[in-house]
Each structure stands twice: as structure tokens, then as C-alpha cells.
Amino acid sequence: MDNLVKICGLSTPETLDAALSAGADLVGFVRYPKSPRHVSLDLGHRLSLQARGRALRVVLLVNPADEAVAQAVEAINPDLIQLHGNESPERVAEIRSMVKRPVMKAVGIAEASDLAALSPYAKGVDHILLDAKPPRTAEALPGGNGLAFDWRLLNGLDPKVSFMLSGGLNPDNVAEAIRLTKPRAVDVSSGVESGPGLKDPARIAAFIKAARTAFAAHH
């Protein structure tokens, strides 16, 4: 998974088409009812068919029960499952063996000590997503809050650890984020929106272009 761009939280055929046409490598569908980006199983199914063969399809789940995992896999047929809650390393490994598909675990970063949370996941996941830790407010979502963490914290990360970077990325800062952190992939949601859950085709295209240029320059 090198030099890839993921556009997350797509929830309409039109904005999914914008992401696919602009060359997104991965597209994300959020299954979290409190989110403005939540997709029903039926909508997720249709969006997944639309993206098939054009980008890797990612379904986002938060602390899912087995039944929720099975329903999402059956309806959406994702290429990758992103776990964005407080799933333990054991639970992540359990879900991975249940679905027999690649799993990406999101880990929230706010301070240097948060990096210690990564190694217990090393054996049981296929990919790690480093995201900003959500604020402790009632309205904060587990992800997709448009907040960046201090990228310099990743100076303390073992260079052998490969990761996808997210959290508060946008068309204006993604080049600097890639230059400083050298991620294998980048992920964006709020930074390509004109309002909560409203993806903006022009911002999607600008983000992908800026990320591609930066990857070419720094890898």
C-alpha cells in the first residue's frame, strides 16, 4: 500500500464518482449512525458496486459486534475493513480471522506516549491508520473530526512501521504532512467537505493532486 490516497466518508453516487474520477485509490464508507456520513447497508451496497474495480472499497466500523461485521461484509463486500473504535488487539485479530479480508486499525495520537499503543496490533492487522485522537466532547465522533495531531510526534516512530496518515488533512497541508511524516498513504474526510458530510468535488480533486505531487517528490 504505497503512495495511495484514500477519500473517506463518501455517501452519495455523485461525490463517489468525483473521487473515482479524480483517481482516489481507496474510498471509505462509514457505518456509524451518529455520523453525517453514515451509509445504510443498502446505500453502501450500491456505492460499493459503483466503485468496484476502480478503487479499493473500505468500510468503517466502530466497536462492531460480530453481526454488524457480517452484515457490512455481506452488503458492502469491502476490500478492506477499517476499525475505528476502541477494539483491542485481540478483537481486531478475531474480526480479521472472521472476515478473511484485510483489516486496518485506526490508532488515535495526541501525545508521544500514544505511539506505544501500536506494537500490540502489529501481528493482528494488515495496516495501521494514525489519526488524531478525538476530543473528549459529547459531540465528537470517533473519527472524521477534521483535527490534526502534531506530526512531529512521529519522529519517535520506528521507521520500519508503515502507516496511513489521517486527521485534519486538507488540500493545503497534505504536502507538508507527507514531507514531514513520510506515510505510505494518506486519508481525508472533513478536509474535502464544504459542510459536515458534504463532499466537495473540487476539494477532492485538489487533495489528490497535492498528495500525488508530494509523494512523487518525497519517496
- Closest separation between CB of residue 44 and ligand LARABZUK, Å? 14
Nearest to 26 by CA among 86, 102, 100, 87: 102
Q: What angle do CA 65, 67, 68 make, to 5 degrees?
A: 70
- What binding mask, one character per residue, do residues 41-60 give for ligand LARABZUK by CB under 6 A, x or -? -------------------x
| Grid coordinates of 195 | 459542510
**Residue with C-alpha cell 488515535?**
108
Given 22, 62, 109, 174, the residue binding ligand LARABZUK (CB under 6 A): 62
Nearest to 71 by CA among 42, 92, 46: 42
- What binding mask, one character per residue, do residues 178-217 give for ligand LARABZUK by CB under 6 A, x or -? ---------xxxxx--------------------------
Residues from 93 through 122 that contact ligand LARABZUK (CB under 6 A): none
Given 1, 5, 7, 9, the residue binding ligand LARABZUK (CB under 6 A): 9
- Exposure string over 93-109, b if 16+ CB within 10 A, otherwise e: bebbeebeebbbbbbbb
**Residue with C-alpha cell 460480530?**
66
Return the number of the residue (96 or 203) whose C-beta is nearest ligand LARABZUK: 203
The count of residues interacting with ligand LARABZUK (CB under 6 A) is: 26
Beta strands in the chain (DSSP E): 4-7, 26-30, 56-61, 80-83, 103-109, 127-132, 164-165, 185-188, 193-195, 198-199
Q: Is 2 a catalytic residue?
A: no
Return the number of the residue (11 or 96) whose C-beta is nearest ligand LARABZUK: 11
For the annotated catalytic residues, the residue numbers are 8, 131
Binding stretches for ligand LARABZUK (CB under 6 A):
8-9, 30, 32, 35, 37, 60, 62, 84, 131, 141-147, 166-169, 187-191
